Chains A and B, each alone.
Chain A
Amino acid sequence: MNNRSLTTLATLVRRELWESPIAFKWAPLGIGALIVLFVTVSLIIGGRVDAELAFTSDVLRQLAEQPMEQRRLLVSGFLFSFATIFFQIMLLIILFYLSGSLFDDRKDRSILFWKSLPVSDGMTVISKLASACLLVPGMFLLAIVLTHILLLLIASGYGLLAGVNPFTTFWLPASLPRLWSVMLLGLVVQALWLMPIYAWLLFCSSWAPRLPILIAIAIPAGLAIAQHAWTLISSFTLPGFNLGLIMLKRLGSSVLPMSANIEFGGNLQTIEFSEDLFLNYGTVFSYLTRPEMWIGLVIAAALLFGAIWFRRRATDG
C-alpha cells in the first residue's frame, strides 16, 4: 500500500467519523459520563447515610491494608467491570454501523457523489471495515481511559479524606498500563475474531435492496431453522453443526475477557474470579492459535470480495 492509498484510507475513515459522530464519539463519551455520574451520585447519597464518612473511610483503610495482590485484583477488577459496559454497547454500534455502511448512500443517492471521486470500490469497502475494526474500538478505548482516570481521581479524593495514600491504594494497584494494553490487544484480536461477522454484514449491506440488517439476520436464521427442521424430520436428531448457532456463539464469546459467554449445550464451568480473567495477555493470544480464527478470516476474505463485487455494480435506487 503506497502513501497515497494510506492518505485516502485515513481520509475515508475520518469521513465515517464525520458521518456518525453520535455513534462513534458521543456514545462512548456519554457512557463514560453516565458511569462517572452514577458513581458520584452513589457516593453523595452514601455520604448522607454514612455520617462523617466513617464507613467509607473504614472500607478504604481496609483496602489500603490489603496485600498488593489483593488490592490489584479489586481495583483493576472494578475498573475493568466498568469497561465491559463500553464493550457491549460498542459491539451493538459496530453491528448496526456495518449493516448500513454500504446501504445508506445507495438509499439517499449520495453514492453518486462518492463514486464521482477517484476512489476504488475496494478502498471504500476497506475503509468501512477499518472504521469498525480500528476507529470505533479506538474511540471507545479513549473514552474508557478517560473514565478510568476520572474514577481514580474521585477515589483519590475520598482516599485523602480517609487518610490513605491514593497512589499506593488506587493508582498503583490499578495497573493501568497493563489493563489498557490488554484491552487494546483484546480489541484488535476481537476484531479479527469477529471479522467473518463484520464481513457478512458488509456483504449484505452492499446488495440488500432494503433493511440490510434484517436480511443479514434472516438469512442465517432461516438456514439454521431449515437445517434444524430437516435433521429433525429426517433423523429425529438435532444437528451437531448449525450455522446460526455458530454465528451467535462467535458473537457471544467475544475475545475480551468477562464478556457474556453464550454457551449452547451446557458445560458452563465455574469461573474463578482472578486476574487471569482480565489482566492476561495469554488468554487473548490463545485465540490467534485457534483454527476457528483462521477459518473465520478466510470466510471473511471471501465475503469482502463479494461486498466489493456488488459495490462495483451499485448505483442509486
Chain B
Amino acid sequence: MTMTIKARNLKRHFGSTRALDGIDLDIPSGRIVGLIGPNGAGKTTALKAILGLSSYEGELSVLGYDPASQRDRLMEQVCFIADVAVLPRWARVGQIIDLTERLHPRFSRARCMHFLENSKVRPEARIRALSKGMVVQLHLALVMAIDARLLVLDEPTLGLDILFRKQFYSNLLNEYFDEQRTILITTHQVEEVEHILTDLIFIRDGKLVLNSSMEAVHERYVEVMVRPDLADQARALGPLHERLLFGRHIFLFDSADMQQIKALGETHKPSVADLFVAMMGPESAPATETA
C-alpha cells in the first residue's frame, strides 16, 4: 500500500535550533491525523516541508512526489488552509473562484457554489471586506471543491467563534472526508478535533513524542482517580503524570496492568488534552523519562 506521506529522518534547522530533528512518518490514506504540539515544536515546519514550501534534509515523499522539487504537480492532489486568512485581500470572491477554476484541473465550480449557498459570501464582494469567518468559509469552500487526496489544515479555526468551528468540522467530516482522502490537522484546540481523529501525533522540540492510532491510544493510556490515602501506592506503579482535582489525585498510566489500576479507584480514558499535558507539560518531562 502506498503511503500518502512517507518521511525518513526528516530534518530542518534554523541556525542552531533544530526545528525538525529526524522525524519518521508513515501516513496511509483514509486517515484523519492530528499533529499536536506546543508552540515552536516544529508543527508548521513539518507542514511546510510536506507542502513543498520549505527546504529540508532527509527523505520525504508525499503521494509519491518530492515536495521540494515537484510542488506544482503535488498541488493538484493536495490542498491546504493555513493558520491565517491567506486569500489575497485585493481580489473579489468571484475572481478568486474564476482563478481557481482556471488554474486547478480538479476544481468544481458547482461544488464550490454549493458550499457557499448558505453563507453570506457574495461573488462581487472584495475579500478585504469579508469578516474573518467569511474568509475561512470561502477558503474552505474552495478547498472542498477540489478533488484532492490530501488536505492539510494548519490551525484552520483560529479566531473563529464556536458555532463556526463546529460547522467547519462537521462539513469536513460529512461532505468531504472519505476512504481515499487523508486530512492532516494541527491545532491547539485539541478538544474540538479529538473525536474526529483516527491518528494522533505529538511533536516536541522537533521530535515525535507519540505517533499512534486513536484506538491504540485508548488501549494504552488510562487515567485513574485515587483517594489521597492510596496516592503513594499509585505513585509506586510509575505513573506518567499526576494532578489534583477536588481533593482527588488523578494518575495517568501508560500500558499499566489494569488489575492493579482498577484496585486504586475509578478508571477512564484520558482525553487528548490530558494526555498532552501529561506528556508535554513542563513538570512532566522527568516523568516521561522514567516511564
Check B84 against A117 for contact (C-beta < 8 Å): no
Of all chain A residues, the one with the shortest Cβ separation from B89 is A108
Residues in A whose Cβ lies below 8 Å from that of B75: 115-119
B97 to chain A, nearest CB (A): 12
Check A15 against B53 for contact (C-beta < 8 Å): no
Check B86 against A113 for contact (C-beta < 8 Å): yes
Check A109 against B84 for contact (C-beta < 8 Å): yes
How far, in angstroms, from A47 to B76 measured CA to CA in the complex?
65
Residues in B whose Cβ lies below 8 Å from that of A119: 72, 75, 103
> Which range contains the number of B residues in contact with the other chain?
20 to 34
A120 to chain B, nearest CB (A): 4
Residues in A whose Cβ lies below 8 Å from that of B76: 118
How does the 8 Å CB contact mask read for A116-145 relative to B, with 1 for contact and 0 for none? 111111010000000000000000000000
Of all chain A residues, the one with the shortest Cβ separation from B139 is A113
A315 in contact with B48 given A11-B103, A112-B53 (CB within 8 Å): yes
How does the 8 Å CB contact mask read for B28-72 relative to A, with 1 for contact and 0 for none? 000000000000000000001001111100000000000000011
A316 at the interface (CB under 8 A from B): yes
A7 at the interface (CB under 8 A from B): yes
Check B103 against A112 for contact (C-beta < 8 Å): no
A110 at the interface (CB under 8 A from B): yes
Residues in A whose Cβ lies below 8 Å from that of B139: 113
Partner of A113, one of B52, B74, B88, B95: B88
Check A313 against B103 for contact (C-beta < 8 Å): no
A57 at the interface (CB under 8 A from B): no
B46 to chain A, nearest CB (A): 14
Partner of A118, one of B53, B84, B105: B105
A111 to chain B, nearest CB (A): 8
Residues in B whose Cβ lies below 8 Å from that of A316: 82, 86
How far, in angstroms, from A110 to B89 measured CA to CA in the complex?
8
Residues in B whose Cβ lies below 8 Å from that of A123: 72
Of all chain A residues, the one with the shortest Cβ separation from B52 is A115
A15 in contact with B99 given A118-B73, A118-B75 (CB within 8 Å): yes
B79 at the interface (CB under 8 A from A): yes
A272 at the interface (CB under 8 A from B): no
B202 at the interface (CB under 8 A from A): no
B80 at the interface (CB under 8 A from A): yes
A18 at the interface (CB under 8 A from B): yes
A313 in contact with B54 given A112-B82, A117-B75 (CB within 8 Å): yes
B90 at the interface (CB under 8 A from A): yes
For this complex, 27 residue pairs linking A to B, each with C-beta atoms less than 8 Å apart, are A4-B105, A8-B103, A11-B102, A19-B88, A19-B90, A19-B91, A108-B88, A109-B84, A110-B86, A110-B89, A111-B86, A112-B80, A112-B86, A113-B139, A115-B51, A115-B71, A116-B51, A118-B72, A118-B74, A119-B72, A119-B103, A120-B71, A121-B71, A121-B72, A312-B71, A313-B54, A315-B54
Which residues of chain B have a CB within 8 Å of any CB of chain A?
48, 51-55, 71-76, 78-80, 82, 84, 86-92, 95, 99-100, 102-105, 139
Closest A-B pairs by Cβ, 10 of them? A120-B72, A112-B86, A110-B88, A118-B75, A11-B102, A118-B76, A113-B86, A315-B53, A112-B82, A117-B103
